Chain A
Amino acid sequence: MQLPAQLTISPRLAKNIRRNVKERIIELILMMAALVAVATTFAIVGVLLYESLSFFKTVSVIDFFTDTQWTPLFEDAHYGIMPLVSGTLTTSAIALAVAVPIGTISAIFLSEFASHKTREIVKPILELLVGVPTVVFGYFALFFVTPLLQSIYPSLPSFNMLGAGIVMGVMIIPYIASMSEDAMRAVPMSMREGSYAMGATRFQTAIKVVTPAAISGIVAAYILAVSRAVGETMVVAIAAGQQPNLTFNPLDSAATITAYIVQVAMGDLPHGSIGYQSIFAAGLVLMAMTLSFNIFGHWVRKKYRESY
């Protein structure tokens, strides 16, 4: 009489154990996948730091930040990062000046004014723009936008930060538009109804209620756009020039950090040489810049939250 009872329990128990084991295995796989990403990040930071450390054994940190020339591969080598930083900041600033207003206005239009049908047509097109290889944008800047600008400023060099920055801006419009639109559409309808019920127009509702309600998402979109712009490589390498140049004038030609890195990485420098190590030092600066933009973004986001 005891035997059947045991028999009914043990298959269930076995099933439980099997299920538990399966759960554990899945959990382990998921954790390993997450670990790969984390480990890769740490490895990158580690390599950057390690190679940079060797770099800074040869070059003083003070020189690195104060020297106004960056010529690590020349006979008369200078290791001042500022010319690359100025190129990076200038092109990024131009890109943002283009992308932030256009992207934000597009988002407001798409989310608050466009009919369902218009949105269904425009959004995929915007997202298609994201898929265009950046090389294409680079040549577009070099062979289309720059000649156009040259008809306004005849003295503009073929490689210049203005053309590259504008095209980079066009390139990041979809990020800002799409992410801001998502943030605005996530604003509950009850908030809009409250505004309309007060006698507000559609425009007033969009500007005075929906945009502030979505501001943290919109700022997040700007941060992503800054990171994209600062890290963007092909457009600036192709269209802004490759000569490091300490200038904030958009009409000049200059190199960015990323442009320098690809330029040097494509040549064959011996491991351990100072030129090779300079890539990592430049990369470290790039990472520090994106990181500080992110921190700044978080700070702005928090501040906005408290004051709207």
Chain B
Amino acid sequence: MATVTTAIKAEARDLNFFYSNGARALKGISMPLYENKITALIGPSGCGKSTFLRCFNRMHDLYPGNKYQGEIVMHPDNTNVLDSGVDPIEVRMRISMVFQKPNPFPKSIYENVAYGLRVRGENNKRIMDDKVEEALKGAALWNEVKDRLHDLAFNLSGGQQQRLCIARALATDPEIMLFDEPTSALDPIATANIEELMVELRSKLTILVVTHNMQQAARVSDYTAYMYLGELIEYDDTDKIFTNPGRKETEDYITGKFG
């Protein structure tokens, strides 16, 4: 089985999360992310998928009063990204994120992709040009935009904007990429493009993707985790989860008896 040959890139260890209103949104979650694999998070709306995903890049730090408990350890350096001594900015430099709704910046296509590099202090035009081109190619957007790199990003279609956001996240060579329902705002063709892209990216980095679309999880992921009410109900190979789930709750969700 794949688990034998691949290394663990990151793992959550007994992770609990509390929103500022005191609500406990994650309950003792432990699971690995295998390197160069796609791990999908599925479960009914409100079960804590986004909450879990956003722990990885410390997005919850942006809002006062949120509290993490437990660890998310990155390998091979064994950094606990949730440790209060670890700078969230350092974490975000290693783990990038693509959001549910495309959220390009009010800048040109070029500057959107260059943003992460500029933030990191890169100013060399040649390096920047190369990186932008490479990232846009990596996000399968280069051919569509190469003649209008200095147009405003808002002029792109929704699917193109989402690929631009992927290029933006790619440009800084992250180790892990988080996707929070990246296709829920897109049409079927754009969705297929993004899915294909995720599968391609797998060779370069480790992916964690939240999806409410079970076919999508089955199509793209290597591992699947089923969450319910803040708990991890089952985690296994995607094939196993979709053909022979170990838990009754998972089976009910997958077969549509519930959710």
Interface contact A198-B165, CB-CB below 8 Å:
no
Residues of B within 8 A of A199 (CB): 89, 92-93, 116, 119-120, 172
**B-chain residues with CB within 8 Å of residue A306 when the two chains form the complex:** 152
Query: Quick check: is A193 within 8 A (CB to CB) of the other chain?
Result: yes
- Closest residue of chain B to A202 (Cβ to Cβ) is B62
Q: Which residues of A contact B168 (CB under 8 A)?
A: 194, 198
Cα-based distance from A130 to B97 in the complex (angstroms) = 43
Contact B59 A195 (CB under 8 A): no
Contacts of B92 in A (CB 8 A): 196-199
B94 to A, closest residue via Cβ? A199
Q: Is the CB of B103 within 8 A of A191?
A: yes
The contact string, 1 if C-beta is below 8 Å from chain A, for chain B 64-99, is 000000000000000000000000010011001101
B169 interfacial contact with A, CB 8 Å = yes
Question: Within B144-164, which residues are at the interface with A (CB < 8 Å)?
Answer: 152
Instruction: Say if the beta carbon of B115 comes within 8 Å of chain A.
Output: yes
Question: Contacts A190-B101, A193-B62, A193-B99: A198 and B116 contacting too (C-beta < 8 A)?
Answer: yes
Whether B96 contacts A213 by the Cβ 8 Å rule is no
Contact with A along B100-121 (1 / 0, CB 8 A): 0101111110000001101110
A190 touching B152, Cβ below 8 Å: no
Q: How many whole Å from A258's CB to the nearest CB in chain B?
A: 37
The reply to whether the CB of A16 lies closer than 8 angstroms to some CB of chain B is no
Query: Of B62, B93, B106, which is within 8 A of A213 by CB?
Result: B106
Residues on the B chain within 8 Å of A60, using CB = none
**Chain A contact residues: over half helix, strand or loop, or mixed?**
helix
Residue of A nearest to B150 (CB): A307
Known: A199-B89, A199-B92, A201-B89. A194 touches B106 (CB 8 A): no
Give chain A nearest CB distance to B148 CB in angstroms.
13
Check B152 against A308 for contact (C-beta < 8 Å). yes
The yes or no answer to B221 lying at the interface (CB within 8 A) is no
> Could you say which of A193, A204, A215 contacts B103, with CB atoms under 8 Å apart?
A193
**Residue of chain A at shortest CB distance from B118:** A208
Nearest B residue (CB) for A116: B64
Size class of A's contact patch? 20 to 34
Report how far A305 CA is from B107 CA in the complex, Å.
9
| Residues of B close to A192: CB separation below 8 A | 62
Q: What separation, in Å, do the CA atoms of A208 and B108 have in the docked complex? A: 12
Contacts of B152 in A (CB 8 A): 305-306, 308
Closest B residue to A197 using CB positions: B97
**Any chain B CB within 8 A of the CB of A147?**
no
Whether B57 sits at the interface, judged by CB under 8 Å, is yes
Nearest-neighbour CB distance to chain A for B109, whole angstroms, equals 12
A209 interface hit (Cβ, 8 Å): yes
Complex partner residue of B119 from A190, A204, A305, CB under 8 angstroms: A204
- Distance in angstroms from A124 CB to nearest chain B CB is 22
Quick check: is A200 within 8 A (CB to CB) of the other chain? yes
Nearest CB on A from B21, distance (A) = 15
In the bound complex, residues from chain A placing their C-beta under 8 Å from that of B120 are 199
CB distance from B161 to the nearest CB of A (A): 11
Within the assembled complex, what's the spacing in Å between the Cα atoms of A308 and B115? 13
A197:B105 contact, CB within 8 angstroms:
no
List residues of chain B with CB within 8 A of the CB of A305: 152
Name A162-205 residues within 8 Å CB distance of B: 188, 190-201, 204
When the two chains form their complex, are residues A196 and B59 in contact, meaning their CB atoms are under 8 A apart? yes
CA distance A190 to B62 in the complex (A): 12
Contact (A198, B103) CB under 8 Å given A193-B62, A208-B115, A306-B152: no
The 0/1 profile, CB within 8 Å of B marked 1, for residues 1-13 of chain A is 0000000000000
Q: Is the CB of A212 within 8 A of B93?
A: no
**What A residues does B62 contact at CB under 8 A?**
192-193, 196
When C-beta atoms are compared, the residue in chain A nearest to B153 turns out to be A308
For A308, list chain B residues within 8 Å (CB): 106-108, 152
Task: Evaluate contact between B115 and A198: CB separation under 8 angstroms.
Answer: yes
Complex interface: chain A residues within 8 A of B99 (CB): 190, 193-194, 197
> What are 7 inter-chain pairs, A to B, with CB distance below 8 A?
A188-B103, A197-B96, A198-B96, A204-B119, A209-B106, A212-B106, A213-B105
Footprint of A on B, CB under 8 Å?
57, 59, 62, 89, 92-93, 96-97, 99, 101, 103-108, 115-116, 118-120, 152, 165, 168-169, 172
Besides A198-B92, A308-B152, 10 other A-B contacts (C-beta < 8 A): A191-B106, A194-B99, A194-B105, A194-B168, A197-B59, A197-B169, A198-B119, A200-B89, A208-B115, A212-B106
Give 3 closest A-B pairs by Cβ, nearest first: A199-B92, A197-B97, A194-B103
Which residues of A are interface residues toward B (Cβ below 8 A)? 188, 190-201, 204, 208-209, 212-213, 215, 305-306, 308
